[in-house]
Amino acid sequence: MDKLQMAINVFNKRAVQYQDKFMDVALYHDSFDLFCNSIPKQTAAVLEIACGPGNITRYLLEKRPDFHLLGIDLAPNMLELARSNNPQAEFMLMDGRDILRLNKLFDGIMCGFCLPYLSREEAVKMIGDAARLLLPGGIFYISTMEDDYARSGFQRSGAGDELYMYYHQADYLVNALNANGFKIMDIQRKQYPAADGGTTTDLIIIAGI
């Protein structure tokens, strides 16, 4: 089975549990604030890739209720929760690897923790696709788990579900952003408590075009 399809199946099955665990996004508020504050245009069009249950969506719309936000995800049960949590936003079933199909331009693109389920090649392609969908002055936010890409592999959750997790490195992500005309605005790293008692490093990059 395709690695991404495995993840979709797990997220569809565990949508409510995921919502209960990750609805609080306080650790990332400062980076979300920077994203919102960097889009001065009122009623800006914002795309959120892999919106999940709408946890990031909800914070963005609390901060900027004027945003016209479109959230996409591949897990129908996640989209159902996202719609319930954010009735003022629009949501649709779509693969984040196919965003050029939208044929629409945006003032901002939010991609919170989609990259852990995309290969290096897919992540680099998404950066290129985002550049084509952003209006001049547009803002792109990406976050992922940072580590040596070679450490990517299957991981088993506490509930027994198996997922293939990709780790990404700042060097090639930044290179891809620069190659596609982005200017890096901010790079952050946050320590997130892991289930085994250790921590993982979350990498956040905000760039403008």
Reply yes or no on whether the pLDDT at 115 is more than 70: yes
Report CA-CA distances (Å) from 173 to 30, 123, 178, 182: 21, 8, 9, 11
Average pLDDT, the chain: 95
Percent of the chain predicted with pLDDT > 90: 81
Distance (Å, rounded) from C-alpha 135 to C-alpha 2? 33
Q: Does domain 3-208 have CATH number 3.20.20.140?
A: no
What is the model's pLDDT at position 21? 87
Among 58, 114, 65, CA closest to 81 = 58
Q: Please, which pLDDT band fits residue 112 given cuts at 50, 70 and 90? A: very high
28-54: per-residue pLDDT in tens?
999 999 999 999 999 999 999 999 999
What is the model's pLDDT at position 86? 98
Residues 138-159: what's their mean pLDDT? 93
Range from 57-66, 114-123, 159-168 carrying the lowest mean pLDDT: 159-168
